[in-house]
Amino acid sequence: MEGCVEGISDGIEEVEISGGKRAKGERQRGQGERLMSKGGFKELRVWQKGKDLAVYIYRITNTGDFAKDYGLRDQIRRAVVSIPSNIAEGDERETDKEAVRYFYIAKGSSAEVLTQATIAFEIGYIPKETFFEIEKGCIEISSMLSKLISARSKTFCP
C-alpha cells in the first residue's frame, strides 16, 4: 500500500469494531463510501478549533495598528476563515478523495495564517503572547488535519 498513510484522525475518536477501527459515532460503511462523522463537520474537533481560531483572529485584528492595515488584516482574515470553511466543505463532499483535497487546502491556509501572524508580530502589531497563541493553534490544526487526511486517504488507496 505504498502512498497510503496509516492512522486515524485526532478530529475523530476511534473505537474497535469487528476486525477494524472506525470513528465513534460513525456508521459502518460499505466499500467506496465516504467516512463521515454522524453529526457532520461541526462535530470534528479540527473544525471547532479552526472556527475558534478564526473568531480569535477577527477579535485581535479589530484593534490597534492591525485594524488600520487593511491589506494584512483582510488577508489574515480570509486565510483563517478558509480553514474551517474548507474542512466543512470537504466533510460534506461525496467521496473521501474529494474531501482530502479540501483538507489539504485548509492545511495550506493554516500555514498562511501562521506566516501572516509572524509578520504581524515582527512589525509590532501583536504581542509575543498573542503570536504564540496563534502559532500553537496553527500547529495543532495542521497536525489534526494531517491525521484526518491519513484516515480519509485509507478509503481510496489500493
Looking at residues 16-26, what average pLDDT do you find?
A: 39
pLDDT of residue 155: 83
Distances (CA, A) of 123 to 24, 65, 93: 45, 10, 40
The class that CATH gives domain 14-29+38-156 is mainly alpha
Would you tell me the crossing angle of helices 96-122 and 45-60 to the nearest 10 degrees? 30
What is the residue whose three cell numbers read 488535519?
Answer: 145
Write down the domain spans for the chain. 14-29+38-156
What's the CA gap between 5 and 79, in Å, rounded? 27
Say which residue, 23 or 125, is predicted with more confidence: 125
Residue 8's pLDDT band (cuts 50, 70, 90): very low
Task: State the Rg of the chain over Cα.
Answer: 17
Is the predicted pLDDT of residue 132 greater than 60, yes or no?
yes
